[in-house]
Each structure stands twice: as structure tokens, then as C-alpha cells.
């Protein structure tokens, strides 16, 4: 306990020196007899522990105004726009995840059935998600697996971690996320898969990332989408995807490709009471988000300032 108190005291002292007295991390490190890297890590820890809270008073309120414009133009229930410097930042996904976690926590109530996808942003969201005052929840993966070895950013893993944080029941999706056209009937006729899929229409909340339809996309880089697939999608003018379901700029589904997906469909997305899309960080993402908005797949959007400006431009 004493060690813990001393550690917290050190964190407080460092924050006073750095934020109040304007000392550099190097000056603090020299006086404490530690490395600059150590001071940097301790400042980061202080943020995570809530010891230091930074509030930027923006008289222009650009991000807030952009959120209001997005909400009005696209008939959204809510929009969250994250302010970022115009020269960009390196940890945007972390910030998107934090805001998404706070937002999702505010929506969840007792008895909700929550569908969730994979992706780097939702992985970041898990770190900041706080257990709301809700019970008897069910978490549903919106897409089956799609790689031999699942990692922490894949939908099945995120759903499992999310269910543990929420103390909720987890629906297991024992199937691949994408199969060959001639295999789809075989998989969908499987009793276990049918039981899992039956939970998707029961979802009243869904939170998902928005992917792009290009060689920089996560699914293409991961080998899930082949060159042949991408060529087919380009013929259908695909710009983005939700849970591997691709659509064009108007939001029209790319039916040929999407018919191979085992998981949520774009038609399912339209029927879910509250859909939360989280994406940003590149011009390609703006195109993908635009298509999702045009298709009516989003009730709530969490994005960054530069992407919001592109969507409103």
C-alpha cells in the first residue's frame, strides 16, 4: 500500500512539474535521476489513472459544429467528431476508440443484445469501455472468423473480450466469415451456425468499423480479399464495407460478393434499432463512410475532424 501511495505521489509531482510549472520531461528526469522515457511513461499512466485531466477550450468549437452539421445533413441520431490538429496525429485510432467507448457505455441498458464487429478501432475501444449499470446483456459477433489464426482485433476475439467486460452472455459464431459461393448453402444449413445466426435479428444495438474497398483495406492486406475479389468489387463500384458487406457510393450492396458472407447483412443492419459506425483517418475512409451514410446504415457516427470536413465538403 505504501509503495502504491509513493507511486501516486510521484505521478502527481511529475504532473505538477510538467503541466503547471512548464518544466520539460528532460528537466524532471534529471532531478529525479531517471530516464526521459520513464517520465513519458509516467505521464501517460497519470492520464490513464485520471490524475491529470486536460481541457481545451475551443472558442471556435469547430468539431462541435461539424458534428451538428453531420447530424442535420445525414439525419443521424448523434454524431461525434474528434478534434485533431490539421497536421495530423499518430494515435487517432486510440482517440476514436476512447470516444466510442464512452458513447456506447451511455447507450447500453438492461437486456440489450449488442452486435459487434472487429477492427483496430474497436480493439482500442475495449481498453476504455466502462461497465454501464446494465445486466442480462447478450453480445453477438456480427461476422464469422476469416483467418486461420485469429488475433485480438478480429471480431470473434473482440466480441469475447467485450462480453467479459460487460459480464454478458456471448453468442459463439462457429463458422468462417466468407466462403465460396457453392459452399454457402452447406454452411447455412448447419444447425449450430443457424442458431448463432438467429441472434443477429435480435440485436437492438450494433457497433462496427467501416472498411475501404482498396489495396489499403484491412481485409485485402490480411489476405481475406483476393486480387480477383477486388477486381469484382471494382466492377461493382465498391467504396466501402461493413462486416465484409460491400456497397457503392450510393450505399447499394454489392450483391455478388456479399452473398458469400456468413454474418450480418446490410439488410439486417437497416433493421437494427441503433447502429454505431466508427471510422476515420484517411480520404479512403471518407468515401467509405459517405457510402454507408447514403445507404442509411448509420444512426450514429464517430469520426475525426478532417474526415468530417470531407463528408461535408
Q: What pLDDT score does 1 carry?
A: 42
Q: What pLDDT score does 263 carry?
A: 96
Q: What pLDDT score does 223 carry?
A: 79
pTM above 0.85, yes or no: no
pLDDT tens by residue, the chain, 313 residues = 445 888 899 999 999 899 888 889 999 999 999 999 999 999 989 988 889 887 776 665 688 999 999 999 999 999 999 988 766 667 788 889 989 999 999 999 999 999 999 888 899 998 888 878 788 999 999 999 865 555 567 778 899 999 999 999 999 999 989 999 999 999 999 999 999 999 999 999 999 999 999 878 778 777 788 889 989 999 999 999 999 999 999 999 999 999 999 999 999 999 999 999 999 987 779 999 999 999 999 999 999 998 999 999 8
Q: What pLDDT score does 2 carry?
A: 44
Q: How many CA atoms lie within 13 A of 101 on its CB side?
A: 20
Residues 6+ apart with CB under 8 A from 111: 134, 135, 136, 137
Q: What pLDDT score does 150 carry?
A: 55
Amino acid at each position: 500500500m505504501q509503495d502504491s501511495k509513493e507511486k501516486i505521489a510521484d505521478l502527481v509531482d511529475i504532473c505538477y512539474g510538467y503541466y503547471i510549472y512548464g518544466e520539460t520531461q528532460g528537466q524532471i528526469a534529471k532531478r529525479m535521476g531517471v530516464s526521459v522515457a520513464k517520465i513519458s511513461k509516467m505521464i501517460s499512466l497519470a492520464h490513464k489513472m485520471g490524475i491529470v485531466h486536460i481541457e481545451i477550450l475551443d472558442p471556435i468549437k469547430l468539431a462541435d459544429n461539424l458534428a451538428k452539421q453531420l447530424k442535420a445533413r445525414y439525419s443521424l441520431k448523434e454524431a461525434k467528431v474528434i478534434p485533431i490538429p490539421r497536421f495530423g496525429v499518430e494515435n487517432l485510432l486510440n482517440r476514436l476508440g476512447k470516444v466510442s467507448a464512452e458513447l456506447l457505455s451511455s447507450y447500453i441498458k438492461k437486456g440489450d443484445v449488442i452486435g459487434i464487429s472487429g477492427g483496430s478501432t474497436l480493439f482500442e475501444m475495449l481498453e476504455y469501455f466502462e461497465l454501464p449499470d446494465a445486466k442480462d446483456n447478450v453480445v453477438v459477433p456480427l461476422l464469422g472468423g476469416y483467418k486461420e489464426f485469429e488475433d485480438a482485433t478480429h471480431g470473434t476475439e473482440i466480441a469475447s473480450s467485450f462480453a467479459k467486460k460487460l459480464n454478458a452472455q456471448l453468442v459463439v459464431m462457429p463458422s468462417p466469415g466468407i466462403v465460396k459461393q457453392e459452399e454457402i448453402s452447406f454452411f447455412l444449413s448447419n444447425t449450430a451456425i443457424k442458431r448463432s445466426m438467429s441472434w443477429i435479428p435480435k440485436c437492438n444495438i450494433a457497433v462496427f468499423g467501416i472498411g475501404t474497398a482498396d489495396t489499403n483495406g484491412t481485409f485485402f492486406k490480411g489476405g481475406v480479399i483476393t486480387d480477383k475479389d477486388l477486381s469484382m468489387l471494382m466492377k461493382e463500384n465498391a467504396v466501402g464495407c461493413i462486416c465484409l458487406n460491400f456497397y457503392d457510393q450510393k450505399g447499394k450492396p454489392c450483391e455478388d460478393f456479399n452473398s458469400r458472407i456468413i454474418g450480418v447483412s446490410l439488410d439486417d443492419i437497416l433493421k437494427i434499432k441503433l447502429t454505431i459506425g466508427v471510422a476515420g483517418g484517411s480520404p479512403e475512409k471518407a468515401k467509405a463512410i459517405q457510402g454507408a451514410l447514403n445507404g442509411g446504415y448509420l444512426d450514429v457516427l464517430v469520426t475525426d475532424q478532417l474526415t468530417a470536413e470531407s463528408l461535408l465538403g
